[in-house]
Amino acid sequence: MSKPEFVYVVYIHSTPAKIWDALQNPEMTKEFWGRRRNRSDWKIGSQWRHENYDDATEVAVIGTIVESDPPRRLVLTWTHPNDAAPDAVSRVSFDIEEYKGSARLTVTHTDLSPEMLRAISTGWPAVLSSLKTLLETGASLPMTRQNWKKAG
């Protein structure tokens, strides 16, 4: 039996380039992703870190860049820094398309343990809803601007 996956689709009145930038530009990311930033040189094979914007030593998630085709597709591996078990690595794909005057963002999170599935099923809708609010109104959802202590 294959491992569960989580797929989230959201339509945003914005452009693929702006959505791509929001995922990588720390000034944007911290606004909708619990005051965290994504740090990488974004080259294929490079490491990626999801860390506290105010404290780079506090790292919630790490992984590697598997695919990068700006602004259309970004694929990362995803694991918690203290998890050494091989099945603790999952994979996240961001697919960003223009769709009839707007943009469609599809996040696919695969290779999930049941615990991870529960955690990210709550996390992704909040993060991505807030990204949409930020791009469409200029301000994110306030509850997503606060530092989240828990990983994921």
Partner 1 sequence: MNTGNFKPAIIYTIYVASTPERVWEALTSAEFSRKYFFGNAVEVDQRIGGAYVVRQADGALHISGVVIECDPPRKLSFTFNVNWPELIEKLGPTLVTYEIEAAGDAVKLTMTESHDRPLDEDILSGGRQGWPAILSSLKSLLETGEPLVVKMAPPQRMLAALKRMGIKTP
Examine residue 12 and tell whether it contacts partner 1 (CB under 8 A). yes
What's the CA gap between 144 and 20, in Å, rounded? Answer: 19
Q: Which residue has the tokens 């452009």?
A: 15
Compare residues 59 and 126 and give the one whose CB is closer to partner 1: 126
For 80, the token pair is 């918690």
Q: How far is the CB of 5 from partner 1 (least distance, A)?
A: 13
Q: With contacts defined by CB under 8 A, how many residues of the chain interact with partner 1?
A: 21
Q: How far is the CB of 108 from partner 1 (least distance, A)?
A: 13
What's the CA gap between 14 and 104, in Å, rounded? Answer: 9
Q: How far is the CB of 107 from partner 1 (least distance, A)?
A: 11
Question: Which of 3, 11, 46, 115 touches partner 1 (CB under 8 A)?
Answer: 11
Examine residue 136 and tell whether it contacts partner 1 (CB under 8 A). yes
Question: Which of 129, 148, 151, 152 touches partner 1 (CB under 8 A)?
Answer: 129
Question: Which of 38, 68, 79, 133 touches partner 1 (CB under 8 A)?
Answer: 133
Residue type present at position 20: W
73-112 mask for partner 1 (x: CB under 8 A)? --------------------------xxxx----------
Distance of CA 7 to the CA centre of its chain: 12
| Per-position DSSP letters for 68-131, written without gaps between them | EETTTEEEEEEB-TT---GGG-EEEEEEEEEETTEEEEEEEEES--HHHHHHHHHHHHHHHHHH
